[in-house]
């Protein structure tokens, strides 16, 4: 696989630290529950949460789309989760907001389980690809319609380990 750098390791580190500072301030004293979306969100989650300077709870949810080549076909499966969300303020941590289907599905699921408020932070937003309306509360970087990998994000299951984000060529 050939990958051309789009966002450097340093740029990601700086932006993630900025996001964490803003979120830490916004949710100070509210005991938020962070829900990290696997697999793509794992690296973003660890870096983001290490920069929150007080103890918080983090849980994980797995979202899988049935793929048509590389892009999602529209069906999103969520794994059952065992944590309690009732009356909690939730912040979903997601790698990429693309069509909007995954985040809408997760939001609906958490609402049904009784979450009080549901917020979201996405590392990458591709507004040009939106199919369903979804407004994230915090965005790392807006990017054009490229297929990317690295920093937790895969191309055919590979490349999640790379410390930068690049375009698949
Ligand atoms: P959505 O449901 O279309 O918004 O898609 C969200 C999910 O599709 C993301 O969480 C990613 O897992 C995956 N995805 C979207 N764009 C890309 C990409 O460029 N590279 C790798 N995965 C992607
Ligand atoms: Mg994802």
- Tens of pLDDT along 21-71? 999 999 999 999 999 999 999 999 999 999 999 999 999 999 987 665 566
Question: How close is the Cα of 59 to the center of ligand 1, in Å?
Answer: 20
Does residue 94's CB lie within 6 angstroms of at least one atom of ligand 1? Answer: yes
> Is pLDDT above 80 for 80?
no
Helix, strand and coil percent figures for the chain, each rounded to 5: 25, 40, 35
The residue nearest atom 23 of ligand 1, judged by CA position, is 96
Question: How close is the Cα of 159 to the center of ligand 2, in Å?
Answer: 14
- Ligand 1 pocket, mutate which of 3, 37, 40 (most atoms under 8 A from CB): 40
For residues 86-104, give the mean pLDDT. 96
**Predicted structure pTM score:** 0.95
Q: Contact 44/152 with Cβ under 8 angstroms? A: yes
Assign residue 129 a region (left: φ > 0; alpha: ψ between -120 and 50; beta: otherwise): alpha
Q: Contact 47/13 with Cβ under 8 angstroms? A: yes
Tokens of 96: 């990429």
> Is pLDDT above 70 for 75?
yes
Position 89 scores a pLDDT of: 98
Position 69 scores a pLDDT of: 54
Position 22 scores a pLDDT of: 98
Mean pLDDT estimate for the chain = 94
Position 66 scores a pLDDT of: 63
Residues bordering ligand 2, an ion, CB closer than 5 Å: 40, 95
């Amino acid at each position: 696989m050939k990958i051309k750098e789009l966002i450097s390791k340093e740029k990601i580190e700086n932006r993630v630290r900025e996001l964490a500072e803003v979120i830490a301030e916004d949710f100070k004293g509210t005991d938020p529950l962070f829900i990290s979306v696997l697999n793509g969100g794992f690296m973003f989650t660890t870096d983001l949460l290490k920069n929150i300077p007080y103890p918080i709870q983090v849980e994980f949810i797995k979202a899988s789309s049935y793929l048509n080549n590389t892009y999602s076909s529209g069906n999103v499966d969520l794994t059952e989760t065992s944590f309690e969300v009732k009356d909690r303020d939730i912040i979903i941590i997601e790698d990429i907001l693309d069509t909007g289907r995954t985040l809408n599905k997760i939001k609906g699921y958490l609402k049904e389980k009784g979450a009080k408020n549901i917020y979201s932070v996405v590392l990458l937003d591709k507004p040009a690809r939106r199919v369903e309306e979804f407004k994230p509360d915090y965005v790392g970087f807006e990017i054009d319609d490229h297929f990317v990998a690295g920093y937790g994000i895969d191309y055919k299951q590979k490349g999640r380990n790379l410390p930068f984000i690049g375009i698949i060529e």
